């Protein structure tokens, strides 16, 4: 049974979260770290946008500033996501792609990771299903046709970074004050969201603590990936790289406001 590294669960800024995710991926590619699982939250709440997205098309920038929400561009693809401080746990996996799915088949990687998240939800009392997605949406996890977990990927030299959301709660009113939906007003987007998005709290009818969700995710990943998890911190190499990426990339206006850049 393989042993993966588990990084400490914590709450961090948007730019630091993305800097660490990329630093871990680059360290795995350099074979200076094992396959790694990271679980974290966002403070303050944040909007993240896909690597190739045009910011003005996806986000109400004035409202982001008014509501004091962070904004960051990911190194991965996919759409624009609102990360609520109270509502979400984010997972991040940096690993050799062949350890998760068939070589060159991104969907098989999504399937394996979503199987693990679905198993975590099962432990919490929620039954979820894999959704293949389409040309506009990455694969995701749904409950009764409503999305509860979405993800995006970055692939490089045989390694994958997949990071994504698991909704503990969802604040649709705040989400759609920040995210633009083509041809819909904020109020209309909220109504559509109620038909398409759900959460653990929404399904169970009561709140579940972050620690409970965190522990369920650990168990789900261990069971489905057939791995052991060994708790460890970032290496000094990763710390240095993450700090540089934070300073020179993820906290800069140039990176955030310019689309179409590579790793």
Q: Which residues are catalytic?
A: 138
**Residue 263's closest CA among 93, 99, 23?**
23
With H, G, I as helix, E, B as strand and everything else as coil, classify residue 185: coil
CA 237 vs CA 3, 10, 15: distances in Å: 21, 20, 18
H-type helices in the chain, by residue range? 14-29, 55-58, 61-66, 106-124, 172-178, 186-196, 200-204, 210-225, 236-245, 253-257
Token output for 141: 């996890």
């Amino acid at each position: 049974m393989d042993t993966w590294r588990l990084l400490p669960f914590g709450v961090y800024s948007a730019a630091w979260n993305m800097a660490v995710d990329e630093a871990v991926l680059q360290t795995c590619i350099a074979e200076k770290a094992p396959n790694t699982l990271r679980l974290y939250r966002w403070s303050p709440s944040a909007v993240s946008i896909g690597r190739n997205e045009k910011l003005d098309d996806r986000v109400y920038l004035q409202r982001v500033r008014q509501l004091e929400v962070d904004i960051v561009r990911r190194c991965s693809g996919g759409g624009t996501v609102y990360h609520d401080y109270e509502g979400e746990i984010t997972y991040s996996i940096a690993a050799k792609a062949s350890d998760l799915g068939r070589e060159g088949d991104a969907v098989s990687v999504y399937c394996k990771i979503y199987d693990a998240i679905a198993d975590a939800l099962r432990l919490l009392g929620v039954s979820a299903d894999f959704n293949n997605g389409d040309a506009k949406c990455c694969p995701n996890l749904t409950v009764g046709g409503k999305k509860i977990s979405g993800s995006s990927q970055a692939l490089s030299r045989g390694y994958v970074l997949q990071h994504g959301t698991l909704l503990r709660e969802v604040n649709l009113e705040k989400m759609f004050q920040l995210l633009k939906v083509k041809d819909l007003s904020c109020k209309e987007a909220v109504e559509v969201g109620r038909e398409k998005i759900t959460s653990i709290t929404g399904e169970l009818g009561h709140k579940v603590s972050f620690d409970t969700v965190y522990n369920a995710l650990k168990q789900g990943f261990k069971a489905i990936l057939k791995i052991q998890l060994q708790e460890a911190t970032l290496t000094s190499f990763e710390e240095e790289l993450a700090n540089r990426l934070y300073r020179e990339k993820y906290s800069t206006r140039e990176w955030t406001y310019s689309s179409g850049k590579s790793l």
